[in-house]
Amino acid sequence: MKNVVVVGSQWGDEGKGKIVDWLSSEADVIARFQGGHNAGHTLVIDGIVYKLRLLPSGIVRKNKISIIGNGVVVDPWALLDEIDEIKSKGIEVNSKNLILSEAATLILPFHKEMDEIREDSAGKSKIGTTRRGIGPAYEDKIGRRSIRVMDLSSENNLDRRLDSVLQHHNSIRKGLGKPEFKKDQLKIDLLKIAPKILQFSQPVWKRIDQFKSQNKKILFEGAQGVLLDVDHGTYPFVTSSNTVASSAATGTGCGINSINYVLGITKAYTTRVGEGPFPTELNDEIGDIIGARGKEFGTVTSRKRRCGWFDGVLVRQTIKISGIDGIALTKLDVLDELDEIKMCIAYEINGKKYDYLPASVDDQLKAQPIYKSFKGWNSSTVGIKNFDELPENAKIYIKDLEKFTETKISSISTSPERNDTILIQDPFKV
């Protein structure tokens, strides 16, 4: 039995959806372990586009079990809308193929409002959140005042829990000159949807233990990327959860020994959404070309992504932090028409050379990339499924990327289509 964790090795948007879907053909169980509906995956299967936000990518496949773990924060209305949306495309979703952790924290309307209030009042210091209430929900979780899935099963308990959390939020809202949030209608709304949510509720840790004893292959699906990790990312311009591979254990309730292989999804260039440092960002025609060819718009927000050259220093750093065993290189075809391609191999900060990105945001914002240049291949790689068939200059770029990041490339994606993938190493069979 092999269990695989998939994480993004950059700032998210690396193309995890396609790779997870592709790997899920071998997996029996696919589990989300952190994040919320602020991150999305786009899958293209037989010409049908599926945009997933909370549901694990395995939900589109028959005879697979999808899990939303305790580490995920769940907007219950968004989840039900997503289930309805995917059902309308012919996908079956029921209590047999979807499991929601009874311990998962709920995102409620006042979380979204607090997210918006903070971003609007932050001015130039804004983080660039998706304004979906993710951060405030995680704050309540850590503050031990959140409403969890299991709380929907008891009206009396729900009433007490709402009193507790709203006491906190209304104190802040009052200080910011905002009206108090009223409990009564929210309680009615939650009790109304409770049966629809609770039908999926189970102790995920127990089910995963059962799956392990049955030698099921488990694919743990991360959201965002390691550079958005609240501890290891470009803080404070990060998300509110730990996006590293080890979070798969805490976010589902399985032991760390359940993880056998960590796959880092890695784009052949670099993108970022929202505010924060981005040493290799291209604010020029090349950046626009990459963005247009790569269709770099967010699945959830439709925001235009910032684009830049591949940052080998950062990817090597996230590989070490997250224990990545292999790279799934995506969107190689986006670079097909460029005459020159660059890779960042070091930084210069205040006249000093660095082989890593320091933790200080001041240093990060000052980091000037030192590049290595490669000749472009000026020919299409779309749909190629064999490494030897790639253009010679593409092979040189890939091999140098592999050498610099000190990690084996296990696959190469040459289009958004599921089957347009060069498989070098199967993570389930290493």
Q: Which of 338, 332, 341, 339 is nearest to 390 (CA)?
A: 332
What are the φ and ψ backbone dihedral angles of 213, each rounded to 5 degrees? -65, -25
Query: What is residue 387's DSSP assignment?
Result: G
Q: Which of 299, 399, 395, 255 is nearest to 8 (CA)?
A: 299
Q: Which of 276, 266, 267, 384 is nearest to 325 (CA)?
A: 266
Residue 346 neighbours by CB under 8 Å, 6+ apart: 313, 353, 354, 355, 369, 370
Q: How far apart are CA 201 and CA 102, in angstroms?
A: 5
Q: How far apart are CA 30 and CA 100, in angstroms?
A: 12
Catalytic residue among 21, 37, 41, 420: 41
Q: How far apart are CA 272 and CA 299, in angstroms?
A: 13
Place of tokens 């070091």: 346
Residue 402 neighbours by CB under 8 Å, 6+ apart: 327, 408, 409
426 is known as an active-site residue: no
Locate all alpha helices (DSSP H) within 48-143, ordered by sequence: 76-87, 109-122, 134-142
Contact (Cβ atoms closer than 8 angstroms) between residue 254 and residue 208: yes
Place of tokens 């395995």: 58
Contact (Cβ atoms closer than 8 angstroms) between residue 165 and residue 336: no
41 is known as an active-site residue: yes
Residue 348 neighbours by CB under 8 Å, 6+ apart: 354, 367, 368, 370
12 Rama sector, left if φ>0, alpha if ψ -120 to 50, beta otherwise: left
- CA dihedral over 86, 87, 92, 93, signed as positive or negative: positive
The kind and range of the H/E element at 22 are helix 16-23
Q: How far apart are CA 31 and CA 16, in angstroms?
A: 13
3-state DSSP helix/strand/coil % of the chain, to nearest 5: 40, 20, 40
Query: What is residue 91's DSSP assignment?
Result: -
For 119, other C-beta atoms within 10 Å of its C-beta total: 17
Which positions are annotated as active-site residues?
13, 41
